[in-house]
Structure 1
Amino acid sequence: MAIDDLLDEHEQSERVRSWLRNNGAGLIGGVALGLAVIFGWQWWQKDRQQSSEQANQAYEKAVASIAGTDLKKAEASVASLNGKQGVYADLAALRLAKAQVDGGQRDAAIATLRAIKPEPALQPVVQQRLARLLIDAGKHDEALRLIGDAKDSASLVIRGDAYAAAGKQAEAREAYTSALTGLDVASPLRRLVELKLADVGGTPPKSGDSV
């Protein structure tokens, strides 16, 4: 091997050692960070899976409790989910509220629905069910505030129901008529809304007429 080659190899090795002295800490830190991210992701995935399984088990337990005859026990079971199990808690509370209504406990169902802090996807369902119960309880104004300015057909029907229950037939007719614009002719709900509209002095459109 030529002297020049030995010098080149020596110079190269010195450059490598110099680079490692200057950048070694950063290199090691980068590797450590990369490993931390990988292991952290794996831990998070495993923890998430375990949490989901636990939430599902808690939900099934609550549903079984709701199916029983002791609604007080069911209330406690559902309450234990709140703030911990996300959408599972919301779904369990909706089931409990229905069981309470079926059991003649309207006010308890209202309290159950009020306590829900729903996921965005479930919020309209919770609001609509609560509004219907509030109308049944004679709290028309509160039901109207809850529905707000929602324009979907279900909300418009509820708004019409609130106005009708409050004796405001003109407002009820307007709400029902607006609801019909968003309902297909074949919709089972359409016939019911037409009956409601007629009940408050409105004239349901004939088939093929625009609303």
Structure 2
Amino acid sequence: MAVELYDTEEQQVEAIKKWLNENGRSIVVGIAVGIGCVFGWNGWQNYQTAQFREASDLFQGMLEANQNANEESVSKTAERIKENYGDSPYAVYASFFLAKQSVETGDLEAARKELESILVESSESAMKNLARVRLLKVLLAEGKASEALELINGLEGSARTRFEAAFHELKGDAYVALGQEREARTAYKRVIELGRKSRFLNLKIEDLPVPDLPQINQ
């Protein structure tokens, strides 16, 4: 409130009274809302903490069920985490776990759907890129090399930085599946340039046909 200069103290008091009459209700409401927000925020924080703990306990139980080879319990617990604690990171972990389980049982379509759901639901770039890497492997296993290439080529630079080498290697795998050996070799060499080397990658390169040498006119 800006109190203007008045000729007398009485005029200033009257001005303050008038301002309070006009704005007092909003002040009281504002204070009440402020107090409510404080207690509401604390309650929300407590609720979130409890939810996180419950999701964590369920996830731990799911891991134990997996160690005991109780696949039915694993699936039910994972679905429960996703349904009741969808806003927690454990929902994403559960989707990764279900995708892995589906791959192991040969249900590639189910695995693909789980990984695609992570791309939609997760806000963490690292989790989304990890899901993309695993999704690309599933697509290649399904024989969908062209779709895998479209996914890789459609990524923006910021989404590829941390997983650049992995994406290039999978890009090479896709080109191999499509019979485009020259493009595959280029992609694999890019992986090496990025500092990622492995015996398995070398074997992939060695398995590629030797490129034709240019003809020299005599």
Which bracket does the TM-score occupy, shorter chain normalised?
0.7 to 0.9
Aligned-partner Cα distance in 2 for 1:30–1:118: 36
Report the alpha carbon displacement of residue 111 of structure 1 after superposing the two structures with TM: 4.4
Q: Distance in 1 between matches of 2:181 and 2:138?
A: 20
Q: What is the one-letter code of the residue matched to 2:36? A: A
Report if aligned partners of 1:156, 1:179 keep a CA contact under 8 Å in 2.
Answer: yes
Matched with 1:147 is 152
Matched to 2:136, the amino acid is A
What corresponds to 1:80 in structure 2?
80
Give yes or no for contact 1:106–1:133 (8 Å, CA) kept in 2.
Answer: no
Alignment: residue pair count: 190
- Asked if structure 1 preserves the Cα contact closer than 8 Å seen for 2:175 and 2:181, the reply is yes
Q: How far apart in 2 are the matches of 1:200 and 1:28?
A: 77
Equivalent residue, structure 2, for 1:47: 47
* Residue identity opposite 2:208 in structure 1: V
Structure 1 unpaired stretches of 5+? 1-7, 204-211
Alignment of 1:43-122 (within 5 A): 43-82=43-82, 84-101=86-103, 103-107=104-108, 108-116=110-118, 117-119=120-122, 120-121=124-125, 122=127
Paired residues of 1:66 and 1:74 also in contact (CA < 8 A): yes
Question: Matches of 2:182 and 2:13 in 1, distance apart?
Answer: 92
- Contact 2:81–2:91 under 8 Å retained in 1: yes
Counterpart contact for 1:147–1:159, Cα < 8 Å: yes
Q: Is the 8 A contact 1:160 1:175 kept in 2?
A: yes
Q: Which amino acid in 1 is paired with 2:98?
A: L
State the match for 1:126 in structure 2: 131
Please say if 1:197 is aligned against 2:199: no
Larger radius of gyration: 1
Rounded to whole Å, the distance in 2 between the matches of 1:111 and 1:71 is 19
1:144–1:159 Cα contact (<8 Å) kept: yes
TM score, norm. by length of structure 1:
0.73
Superposed CA deviations along residues 124-154 of structure 1, whole A, max 9, x for unmatched, are: 1111112112212322122222333455110
Deviations 1:27-71, CA, capped at 9 Å, x for gaps: 323322321222222222222212222222232233333333242
State how far apart, in whole Å, the 2-side matches of 1:13 and 1:173 are: 84
